[in-house]
């Protein structure tokens, strides 16, 4: 038995060359990031509250929502594979500037709401554990997130953001 396991281990090691392992993780990367994107505090708190409130009753919606979500993910993946750019890069190259800036504005609005929901979810969980109101915990979490590093809330970060944005052409006149 031990001999068979050793032979199988050697065979797997021989077949898994560094190039194949690197390619596997390169292909896994975007899918792993996409799959983990909803595992934030707001998502977990929403899933928990919905599950506690409704049980399995809304499960039928998965029959309609899953194919739609898959189609959107597939379109985004194909767009990236074909163009080699993200959504902002494609919008910048193929549409007027106001379209790009409108999409950026909508992204900022969505991120602000998402951050607020994350802070609220963390504060609510902490309230359940400690009994201290979530109205106290929300600003504590917000400040700790902003001041985790001294530079996070400084002008240096804004300059770095502008430099990174200029790399993608958001600040240029081209």
- pLDDT per residue over 55-94, tens digit each? 999 889 989 999 998 888 888 888 888 888 888 888 889 9
For 2-151, where are the alpha helices, taking DSSP H only? 2-15, 18-36, 41-54, 62-83, 87-94, 97-130, 134-146
Mark 18-49 as b/e (b = at least 16 C-beta within 10 Å). eeeeeeeeeeeeeeeeeeeeeebbbeebeeee
Interval 108-135: pLDDT, tens? 998 899 888 889 888 988 998 899 999 9
Instruction: For residue 75, give both structure tokens.
Output: 């379109």
């Amino acid at each position: 038995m031990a001999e068979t396991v050793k032979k199988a281990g050697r065979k797997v090691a021989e077949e898994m060359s560094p190039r194949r392992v690197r390619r596997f993780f390169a292909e896994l990367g975007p899918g792993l990031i996409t799959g983990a994107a909803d595992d934030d505090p707001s998502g977990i708190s929403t899933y928990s509250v919905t599950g506690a409130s409704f049980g399995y009753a809304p499960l039928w919606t998965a029959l309609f929502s899953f194919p739609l979500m898959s189609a959107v993910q597939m379109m985004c993946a194909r767009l990236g594979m074909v163009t080699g750019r993200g959504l902002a890069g494609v919008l910048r190259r193929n549409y007027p500037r106001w379209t790009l800036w409108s999409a950026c504005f909508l992204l900022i609005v969505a991120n602000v709401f998402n951050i607020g929901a994350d802070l609220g979810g963390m504060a609510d969980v902490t309230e359940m554990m400690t009994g201290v109101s979530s109205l106290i915990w929300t600003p504590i979490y917000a400040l700790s997130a902003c001041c985790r590093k001294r530079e996070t809330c400084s002008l240096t970060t804004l300059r770095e953001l502008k430099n990174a944005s200029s790399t993608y052409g958001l600040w240029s006149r081209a």
